[in-house]
């Protein structure tokens, strides 16, 4: 099965997928990695692994719609079964959402619907919750609002800082992402309203 991954930053989630896909039993080939900005470590990681990388910048287009169209066409040219947004810091446009409806997923570093947005771990830490975690969900037009595929909780410990909590969440997030992408590609999945089930 073919997977395109989108990144904006360091790409540690991407690296976990690249590592897993090195084993053919995992059943996933990362066919391309795209970024919304040049110079990401994520695209560098892809190229090191022999996977083609591409950059599609909003600023290179007259309108956001044109960017959405170009990004969609580039992704589509790799004929993916699944699009994984892994730390991609742009909201998907309408065309992309439509072209890959139910086949584009995003990973977020909080237990949604709590703490959407850019600062999940910090917001969780400051709120005083005792459980934090990561959520994998199907992309929809909102910010971190789509149907939930899986969640993993981690404890917030008394001696945590935002940094140590963030690291614990990211570890759990990577494991969850690798497991779920593998299952989705091997077993398939069904979206019924807000509910997502494997198989
Ligand atoms: C992830 O924790 C994701 O939830 C958040 O940004 C982080 C991306 O990390 N939106 P990386 O680029 O995969 O290392």
Query: Which pLDDT belongs to residue 191?
Result: 97
φ, ψ (nearest 5 deg) of residue 181? -60, -40
Q: How far is CA 137 from CA 15, 37, 46, 106, 177, in A?
A: 19, 23, 23, 6, 10
Ligand 1 midpoint to CA 85 (Å): 9
Q: Is the CB–ligand 1 distance for residue 170 below 6 Å? A: yes
| The pLDDT of residue 136 | 98
Of 109, 125, 136, best ligand 1 pocket probe by most atoms within 8 Å of the beta carbon = 109
- Distance in angstroms (rounded) separating the CA atoms of residues 26 and 103: 18
Catalytic residue of the set 108, 168, 170, 174: 108
Euclidean distance between CA atoms 51 and 119, whole angstroms: 30
- Pick out the residues of the known binding site for (6R)-10-formyltetrahydrofolate: 64, 106
As a CATH number, domain 2-194 is: 3.40.50.170
pLDDT at 46: 96
End-to-end CA distance of the chain: 15
Q: Where are the domains of the chain?
A: 2-194
Q: Is the CB of residue 109 below 6 angstroms from any atom belonging to ligand 1?
A: yes
Q: How many angstroms is it from 77 CA to the middle of ligand 1?
A: 25
Which residues have C-beta within 8 Å of that of residue 10, sequence separation ≥ 6? Answer: 40, 41, 42, 87
Q: What number of other Cβ atoms are within 10 A of residue 175's Cβ?
A: 13
* C-beta separation of 55 from 35 below 8 A: yes
- Mean pLDDT split into 10-residue runs, the chain, 199 residues: 97 97 96 97 95 97 98 98 96 97 98 98 98 98 97 98 98 98 97 96
ipTM of the complex: 0.92
In the annotated binding site, the residues are: 11-13, 64, 106
Is residue 18 within 6 Å of ligand 1 at its C-beta?
no
> Which among 74, 79, 86, 81 has a CA at the least distance from the CA of 28?
81
């Amino acid at each position: 099965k073919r997977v395109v991954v989108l990144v904006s930053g360091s790409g540690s989630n991407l690296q976990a997928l690249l590592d897993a896909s090195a084993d053919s039993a995992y059943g996933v080939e990362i066919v391309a990695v795209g970024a919304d900005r040049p110079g990401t470590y994520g695209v560098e990681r892809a190229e090191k692994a022999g996977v083609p990388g591409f950059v599609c910048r909003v600023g290179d287009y007259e309108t956001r719609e044109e960017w959405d169209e170009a990004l969609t066409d580039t992704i589509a040219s790799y004929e993916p079964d699944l699009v994984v947004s892994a730390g991609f810091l742009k909201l998907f446009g309408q065309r992309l959402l439509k072209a890959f409806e139910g086949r584009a997923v995003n990973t977020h570093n909080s237990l949604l619907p709590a703490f959407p947005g850019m600062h999940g771990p910090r917001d969780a830490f400051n709120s005083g919750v005792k459980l934090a975690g990561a959520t994998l969900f199907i992309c929809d037009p909102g910010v971190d609002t789509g149907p939930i595929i899986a969640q993993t909780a981690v404890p917030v410990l008394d001696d945590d800082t935002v940094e140590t909590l963030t690291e614990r969440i990211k570890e759990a997030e990577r494991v969850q992402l690798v497991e779920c992408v593998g299952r989705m590609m091997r077993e398939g999945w069904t979206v019924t309203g807000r509910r997502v089930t494997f198989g």
